[in-house]
Amino acid sequence: MNNLRFLLLLLPILFFGQNKSIKINIVSVTSIDSIPEERKFTINYSIENTTDKEISFFLEPEKLFPAHSNAMGTGVFYKLFQENDELIINGVFTNNRTIKSFNLPDFSSIKDEKEREKAFKEFFEERMKSQNDSIKKNSIKSLLNSIYHLKPKETKIYSIVWYWDKKRYFKRDEFEYYLDEKGTFYIQFYLFLMKEQYENKMTKEDYESLMKIPNFIKGVYQSEKAEINFRE
């Protein structure tokens, strides 16, 4: 996992300057305090095929993961920044899809903040381990279900709703983070598209079938940063 995290940090540098066949853009970020204790974010983003050919790649565009989590996932990854500093933390955002998919426990009954943070961390670590174990067991048949297609010059737009409970203090391992009430925050999306990395996850026949899919795209595709409101 550490090697994957290192690769995830390095790949944007390796791919910088290449002609991009895919563009991912954050179109808009809006927020409203739906109730005093909660802020609702609506984020619209697009995925565009910039080429004159139909392209394919592994992607589940409505699944979003923190960039420091599962590098072998097939969703959209995101980073959160305070000014220029990346915040490597879990649990800032929740949504109905996340709660349903992750079966997120209710940690509100744990009154001690350190114990609650520990329980949250253990849950996500177990979740990531479970995802990795699941990937190892998957065949090309399951991966084929996540193959995403874009026609020439086609753009698809998606919308995700996130909720923030206005918690500002977070701790991950030995690092502590505080979301400044007056700070400026940004989010950034990117696609981490793989192909050969799945070779040892499938049979030789399955892998050969994958390699025959025309215009199957791989690489890292990164959006511009967009401001997101965490101010009071």
Question: 142 is written with which tokens?
Answer: 């399951």
Query: How many residues comprise the chain?
Result: 232
**pLDDT of amino acid 108:** 72
Question: CA-to-CA distance for 84 and 184, rounded, in angstroms?
Answer: 9
Question: CA-to-CA distance for 82 and 162, rounded, in angstroms?
Answer: 18
Question: CA-to-CA distance for 24 and 20, rounded, in angstroms?
Answer: 10
Closest CA to 27 of 224, 185, 229: 224
**pLDDT of amino acid 93:** 92
Q: What is the pTM of this model?
A: 0.72
**pLDDT of amino acid 4:** 46
Question: CA-to-CA distance for 148 and 103, rounded, in angstroms?
Answer: 26
Task: Determine how many CB atoms are found less than 10 A away from the CB of residue 172.
Answer: 17
59, 146 contact by CB (below 8 A):
yes
Q: List, for residues 86-110, the tens digit of each pLDDT value.
A: 999 888 998 754 333 445 577 678 8
In the structure, what pLDDT confidence band is assigned to residue 132 with cuts at 50, 70 and 90?
A: low
Q: Is the dihedral of CA 166, 174, 122, 191 positive or negative?
A: positive
In the chain, % of residues over pLDDT 70 = 79
Does 17 have pLDDT greater than 50? no
